[in-house]
Structure 1
Amino acid sequence: MKKYLDRYLDDELDELLEYMGAVLIVGPKWCGKTTTAEQHAKSVIQLQDPTYSKNYLKLADVDPLSLLEGKKPRLIDEWQMAPELWDAVRYSVDESDDDGLYILTGSTVVDDTKINHSGAGRIHRLLMRPMSLYESNESNGKISLMDLFDNPDLNINGITSDLTVPDLIFAMCRGGWPESLNKKTRKQQLMIARSYLNILCEIDTTTIDGVKRNPDKIKSLLKSYSRNISSFTKNTMIIADIQEHHGSMSEATYYDYINVLKQLFVIDEIKAWGPKIRSKTAMRNSSKKNFIDPSIAVAALELTPEQLLYDLDTGGHIFESLCIRDINVYSAQRGGKVLQYHDQDDLEVDCVLVLSNGDYALIEFKLGSREEEDGASNLVKLKDLIIKRKESGDINIPEPKFMAIVNGGKVAYTREDGIKVIPIGCLC
């Protein structure tokens, strides 16, 4: 028996099942949705089961309510294979007026035209990401991100990480795919991300809607996109890069592929934080390129941990993606949203983490310590700008709860300017 590793989503799911009729868990394939859902379900129906799949799909078409019979909560795995089940679940929740009835999982966004009701108030949506370093037992979790919101003066000085830079680079290459942790060798662990990428390009981008797409062109797009991860590179420039290195691709094809990759929870761009700190003409509203897991970029670029160790510029961009994945996981239960700030004066902050209650933190990501001063300077400039605009009455938002630099170092400490320096290997 493989040991189940607890996920942050476990607590969210338990809480939601106490007051929601149904919960939908979405996210990329292989991130652990089904395994986690099974820990909370009392009966299961897997629509992808090759033995019963045809019968299930026929029943879903003629008598969908029959598939909902069973002990509750009942797990309906990959429900999007039979979209009729959505309205059946909604109807069942309405009729029973009870909570904790169904858990649905899905690896693709379903076309809204295939369902009659949004499910609002009855079916709650949870996004599951690949595993964070704390969930995979690599971060020691000695510093809680949420504790810093509750106590910004928390003493972190001297807390140490167990992870080295080579450890982090391997984790970036392997990714947060649970199955990789069950493999015996490092080579086998690294193959999971590459297999995921191949299946994504060869199968998933076609089966999502039945439209045949060119796997080679999708791989070309992913490779060019990966070269620009953690950047504000315009889509027109990525299209030009594809055309230069991999052959022709029209804008229509490019945007179709991008849309499909978003529907498959592969592309996870970082949107701009827009509290109108500067005038509208001075703000940049473009999103930053990002994947839901850093290993996708590594696999698309066909890089190895050894190559990344000698290319720390690329490694730094992929490290940022790793940090964003983890911070998204650690803040999800409190409604955390990872955004970024970038204005036309080129003041840029990697992460503005905003909680559902309006509290927020300013965070920079630096793999090494050489860029620490640059990161600290950006944080202080943005905080000073916020204070100045508050005093002039131009904005009405609180000051950041705290500022931090998350890095690949060994020791946590608080700088004289109040900025927390936190190794990602200490964070939870």
Structure 2
Amino acid sequence: MVYRPRIVDSILDRKLSVFGAVVITGPKGCGKTTTAKQKAKSVIEFQDEDRREGYLSVASEMPSKLLEGAKPRLFDEWQDAPKMWGAIRKSVDDTQKTGQYILTGSTSKDVDVPHTGTMRISKLQMYPMSLFESGESNGTVSIMDLFDNPGGFDGCHSDLDMDGIIHAICRGGWPSAVNIHKASDSLMIAKDLFEQTCEVDSSKVDGVKRNPLVMKQLLRSYSRNICQLAENKTIITDVNAKYPFSESTYYNYIGALSKLYITADVDAWCPAIRSKTVIRASPKKNLIDPSIAVAALGIGPKYFNSDFNTLGFLFESLCIRDLKIYSSKYGGTVSYYHDRYGLEADAVLHLSDGRYALCEIKLGQKDVDEGAAHLLKIESLIRENNVDARISIREPDLKIVITGTEYGYRRDDGVFVIPIATLRD
């Protein structure tokens, strides 16, 4: 099977040029091992049943022996041999060389290592595929080009229609699903991930037994509140309607999902705007991929023929996933803005150099005007604040309404309207 290039490829190259080792984290099935193998010159796979016992024996008694081999050397499922972490850390210290080791593995084990590996073993998080990586975004609009040369944007056109967007949401960005040509079959991957997470992985991650039925109910409630400012007590009450579920149990179960990289809440952006506006500061509920929510809710593409409201929240989740992936190449982060008066930016994309974009996410054309008005109002608040504030707030470098529509353009008020299926890093 031909390898589909990932945006994380170049990030891995950079980290290997700086650090002695890199550990790749992320949810099951997002492509960690496959990506690592593109860079590795030798591989140790601890779940190779033909060699497993021999590898584990050496790793337990003299792990340094397994370090011998062409570099970078990949250790897949390294958590099965936790002593490898210390051996790799010491090797990096002793040799002072970069790009020696790559570690990947399942997130279904929580390994306690004696040393953190700080400044020696760098962490790199992977996500499922973005629309550009899966080939569904034509990539005609580069996020970085927009920041660097906004005046150079002269419009764009998306090749992905609404049915295609719905399918991408339901299927998710899982590489194994993307490579399945039959649309109905490709939906099975996310469903299986949901089942395995609740039935097996949520208990294996730290050895704490958790009720699969309760975990499924929790994920269903989380999915009903995806990309919304739902309070934790709302979800606790929802689960408690079927199963006994306390606040402490909630945090216990959510902690497991976090370790599995299933939840991916969006933090709030709280600029110090000098006004009476109260800014919401609690995280916005989200999952690593919208397909998990679709699987948890037990729905499919045909469901959205009669429920565009739910589709809108899932579309927002997909857009946030892609913005995180595209901006990760530049050390970017994604947050949101929302105040008590309903003024919002669904996503605030921050680059490491201080530049940022305010983004509203609107599935259809009819809501574009409202989204643009929100972004312009936030910009106006910032300007008002800066008139007499001791410390000014940087004005947004870009204002973007991200849509599921066909055409992209720049409005007379300076707001960009860009279809999600035209974006890339």
What is the TM-score when the length of structure 1 is the normalising length? Answer: 0.95
Alpha-carbon contact 2:109-2:206 (below 8 Å) kept? no
2:263 is matched with which residue?
267
Superposition deviation, residue 164 in structure 1: 0.4
State percent identity of aligned pairs. 50
Given residue 421 of structure 1, which amino acid in structure 2 is its aligned partner?
V
Partner SS state of residue 203, structure 1: helix
Superposition deviation, residue 70 in structure 1: 1.4
1:138 is matched with which residue?
136
Bigger drift between 352-361 and 57-66 goes to: 57-66
* CA distance, structure 2, for counterparts of residue 391 and residue 110 of structure 1: 53
Provide the alpha-carbon RMSD of the alignment: 1.6
Superposition deviation, residue 81 in structure 1: 2.7
* CA distance, structure 1, for counterparts of residue 154 and residue 24 of structure 2: 34
Partner SS state of residue 141, structure 2: coil
* CA distance, structure 2, for counterparts of residue 140 and residue 425 of structure 1: 6
Is 1:180 equivalent to 2:180 in the alignment? no
* CA distance, structure 1, for counterparts of residue 391 and residue 218 of structure 2: 40
1:124 is matched with which residue?
122
Partner SS state of residue 181, structure 2: coil
Is 1:205 equivalent to 2:205 in the alignment? no
Change (3 A) 1:269 1:107: farther
* CA distance, structure 2, for counterparts of residue 192 and residue 285 of structure 1: 34
1:329 is matched with which residue?
325
How many residue pairs are counted as aligned between the two chains?
Answer: 424
Change (3 A) 1:152 1:110: farther
Superposition deviation, residue 280 in structure 1: 9.5
Change (3 A) 1:16 1:242: same
Change (3 A) 1:275 1:378: same
2:14 is matched with which residue?
15
Superposition deviation, residue 123 in structure 1: 1.3
Q: 1:242 aligns with which of 231, 234, 239?
A: 239
1:315 is matched with which residue?
311
Given residue 4 of structure 2, which amino acid in structure 1 is its aligned partner?
L
Partner SS state of residue 334, structure 1: coil
Superposition deviation, residue 67 in structure 1: 2.1
Given residue 408 of structure 2, which amino acid in structure 1 is its aligned partner?
A
Runs of 4 or more consecutive aligned structure 1 residues displaced over 4 Å after TM superposition: 109-112, 278-281
Partner SS state of residue 135, structure 1: coil
Change (3 A) 1:121 1:280: farther
Given residue 282 of structure 1, which amino acid in structure 2 is its aligned partner?
V
* CA distance, structure 2, for counterparts of residue 343 and residue 62 of structure 1: 57
Is 1:375 equivalent to 2:371 in the alignment? yes
* CA distance, structure 2, for counterparts of residue 212 and residue 165 of structure 1: 41
Superposition deviation, residue 19 in structure 1: 2.2
* CA distance, structure 2, for counterparts of residue 394 and residue 299 of structure 1: 50
Given residue 302 of structure 1, which amino acid in structure 2 is its aligned partner?
G
1:229 is matched with which residue?
226
* CA distance, structure 1, for counterparts of residue 274 and residue 80 of structure 2: 46
Alpha-carbon contact 2:227-2:317 (below 8 Å) kept? yes
* CA distance, structure 2, for counterparts of residue 390 and residue 281 of structure 1: 15
Partner SS state of residue 153, structure 1: helix
* CA distance, structure 1, for counterparts of residue 277 and residue 371 of structure 2: 25
Bigger drift between 11-20 and 291-300 goes to: 11-20
Given residue 151 of structure 2, which amino acid in structure 1 is its aligned partner?
D
Provide, for residues 278-303 of structure 1, a one-character-per-residue CA deviation record: whole Å limited to 9, x for no partner.
Answer: 46982321000000111000000011
* CA distance, structure 1, for counterparts of residue 243 and residue 103 of structure 2: 40
1:216 is matched with which residue?
213
Alpha-carbon contact 1:389-1:395 (below 8 Å) kept? no
Alpha-carbon contact 1:30-1:179 (below 8 Å) kept? yes
Superposition deviation, residue 14 in structure 1: 1.4
2:411 is matched with which residue?
415
Bigger drift between 61-70 and 258-267 goes to: 61-70
Provide, for residues 336-356 of structure 1, a one-character-per-residue CA deviation record: whole Å limited to 9, x for no partner.
Answer: 100011123332211111111
Ranges in structure 2 where 5+ consecutive residues have no aligned partner: none
Given residue 103 of structure 2, which amino acid in structure 1 is its aligned partner?
L
Superposition deviation, residue 85 in structure 1: 1.7
Ranges in structure 1 where 5+ consecutive residues have no aligned partner: none
Is 1:155 equivalent to 2:153 in the alignment? yes
1:100 is matched with which residue?
99
2:343 is matched with which residue?
347
